[in-house]
């Protein structure tokens, strides 16, 4: 191996924080980009072929990892383990590679073995927590993150992930507490405010959620998650004008986001601006022609405009796009009921309830469908 290239590789890994032995657990999605990536790619393949010693193979493996070439890095680490089976650096880094290529079960097996040998190694608990999180093993992930935090009380990433997992478990009050702890330690972390805002929103504390989204945007004006969630919450509380402003800002950043067009269309619909709503729905459908919710929402606009024929066409198209989409069956049932086509109304309502039992409660409260259900009960009651 060219000594200069090896030294350059080592310096780059040290500078970017990944390191030349145990891979430092940087943010999980991060790989090298830009000029640094181009420089590393110029020399990495020669280094792969030339590396012979364990330490140099570690450096090469870490460099491959930083480029997102996880399987190739894994193979390098495995070569080291064939020579020295208890080389924990290569073992740990192999586990990290497996998490990146969606082989989390195998990664956890490796991490568990390392824990039996290095029980105070906080990073292995943290990474095992990530793997359990990927598998949906949220309680196990929490145990891992808490152990990582116990061994390294300054591990903000562990605190942050504890909060994220608690939110996934609908433990939003606990999640808020942990996001707040993270914010105290790292007040410039915009995503902590975003996620705390989402948990506030889930608890019905919409104004507090919006305040957090605003704080996130003060720190990171282009934070798309903050913009999206702020707009969504504003729509929920009926602040439709501001929701439209925020969805418009988001669409400036993401012009191909069909969901954002759909949501802005809903806000326009709520304001009675039906032509603007239809325009947004049509744009969303150009991006995703099989977006059943958009097709259904387009039908609702036509129905609000009094064009029941066009509305029914859209509801049936929504069902064709997604045969499990209960809202479209429900809306078709309502419209058939209003039109006096009771057998069709009953059939579509039955389908809606079958796909989402909550539709029954909604139908009971609806004047027309409630009457239809009463008639159905009378019809099905045996004569004694």
Residue 93 has pLDDT above 90, yes or no: yes
CATH class (in words) of the domain with range 1-101? mainly alpha
Mean pLDDT of the chain: 92
pLDDT of residue 228: 97
Q: Cα(280)–Cα(251) distance, rounded to whole angstroms?
A: 11
Whether the CB-CB separation of 241 and 251 falls below 8 Å is answered with no
Q: Cα(141)–Cα(165) distance, rounded to whole angstroms?
A: 8
Q: Cα(39)–Cα(295) distance, rounded to whole angstroms?
A: 48
- Burial label for 42, CB within 10 Å (0-12, 13-18, 19+), is exposed
pLDDT of residue 1: 47
End-to-end Cα spacing for the chain: 95
CA distances from 233 to 295, 305, 373 (A): 23, 26, 34
Q: Cα(363)–Cα(23) distance, rounded to whole angstroms?
A: 57
Element (H, E) at 258: helix 258-270
pLDDT of residue 29: 42
pLDDT of residue 379: 54
pLDDT of residue 114: 98
Task: Report residue 307 CA to chain centroid gap.
Answer: 37
Residue 147 has pLDDT above 70, yes or no: yes
Q: What is the pLDDT of residues 16-68, one digit of tens each?
A: 788 888 998 665 445 666 777 787 788 888 888 887 888 888 988 998 998 88
DSSP letters, 150-164, are: HH-TT-HHHHHHHHH
pLDDT of residue 174: 98
* Six-digit token string for 377: 């009960």
Residue 378 confidence class, pLDDT cut points 50, 70, 90: low
pLDDT of residue 34: 73
Q: Which residues contact 225 (CB under 8 A, 6 or more apart)?
A: 191, 194, 216
Q: What is the pLDDT of residues 98-109, one digit of tens each?
A: 999 999 999 999
- Burial label for 376, CB within 10 Å (0-12, 13-18, 19+), is middle
Q: Which residues contact 219 (CB under 8 A, 6 or more apart)?
A: 188, 189, 190, 193
Q: Cα(59)–Cα(74) distance, rounded to whole angstroms?
A: 12
Overall average pLDDT of the 128-146 stretch: 97
Overall average pLDDT of the 259-285 stretch: 98
Domain extents in the chain: 1-101, 326-384
Q: Cα(264)–Cα(234) distance, rounded to whole angstroms?
A: 11
> Looking at 189-193, 222-226, 270-274, 378-382, which range is the least confident one?
378-382
pLDDT of residue 30: 56
Q: Which residues contact 127 (CB under 8 A, 6 or more apart)?
A: 25, 92, 95, 96, 99, 107, 111
Whether the CB-CB separation of 55 and 79 falls below 8 Å is answered with no
Residue 243 has pLDDT above 60, yes or no: yes
Residue 130 has pLDDT above 80, yes or no: yes
Overall average pLDDT of the 294-299 stretch: 98
Q: Cα(219)–Cα(187) distance, rounded to whole angstroms?
A: 9
Overall average pLDDT of the 130-153 stretch: 97
Residue 377 has pLDDT above 70, yes or no: no
């Amino acid at each position: 191996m060219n000594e200069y290239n090896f030294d350059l590789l080592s310096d780059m890994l040290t500078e970017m924080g990944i390191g030349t032995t145990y891979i430092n657990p940087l943010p999980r999605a991060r790989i090298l980009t830009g000029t640094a990536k181009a420089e590393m790619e110029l020399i990495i393949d020669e280094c792969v072929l030339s590396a012979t010693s364990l330490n140099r193979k570690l450096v090469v493996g870490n460099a491959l990892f930083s480029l997102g070439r996880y399987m190739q890095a894994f193979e390098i680490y495995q070569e080291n383990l064939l020579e020295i089976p208890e080389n924990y650096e290569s073992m740990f880094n192999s586990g990290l590679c497996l998490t990146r290529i969606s082989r989390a079960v195998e990664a956890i097996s490796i991490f568990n073995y390392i824990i039996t040998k290095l029980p105070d190694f906080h990073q292995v608990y943290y990474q095992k927590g990530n793997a359990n999180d990927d598998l949906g093993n949220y309680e196990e992930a929490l145990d891992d993150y808490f152990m990582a935090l116990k061994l390294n009380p300054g591990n903000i990433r562990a605190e942050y992930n504890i909060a994220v997992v608690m939110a996934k478990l609908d433990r939003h009050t606990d999640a808020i507490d942990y996001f707040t702890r993270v914010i105290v330690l790292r007040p410039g972390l915009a995503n902590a405010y975003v996620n705390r805002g989402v948990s506030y929103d889930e608890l019905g504390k919409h104004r507090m959620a919006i305040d957090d989204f605003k704080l996130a945007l003060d720190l990171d004006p282009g934070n798309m998650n903050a913009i999206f969630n702020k707009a969504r919450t504003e729509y929920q509380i009926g602040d439709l004008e501001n929701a439209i402003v925020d969805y418009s800002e988001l669409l400036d950043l993401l012009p191909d986001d069909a969901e954002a067009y759909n949501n802005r269309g809903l806000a326009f619909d709520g304001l009675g601006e039906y032509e603007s709503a239809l325009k947004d729905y049509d744009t969303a459908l150009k991006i995703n022609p099989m977006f059943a919710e958009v097709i259904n929402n387009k039908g609702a606009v036509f129905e609000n405009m009094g064009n029941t024929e066009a509305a029914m066409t859209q509801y049936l198209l929504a069902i064709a796009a997604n045969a499990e989409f209960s809202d479209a069956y429900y809306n078709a049932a309502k419209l058939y009921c209003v039109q006096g086509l009771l057998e069709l109304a009953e059939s579509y309502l039955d389908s809606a309830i079958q796909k989402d039992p909550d539709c029954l409660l909604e139908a009971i409260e609806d004047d027309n469908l409630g009457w239809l259900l009463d008639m159905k009960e009378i019809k099905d009651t045996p004569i004694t």
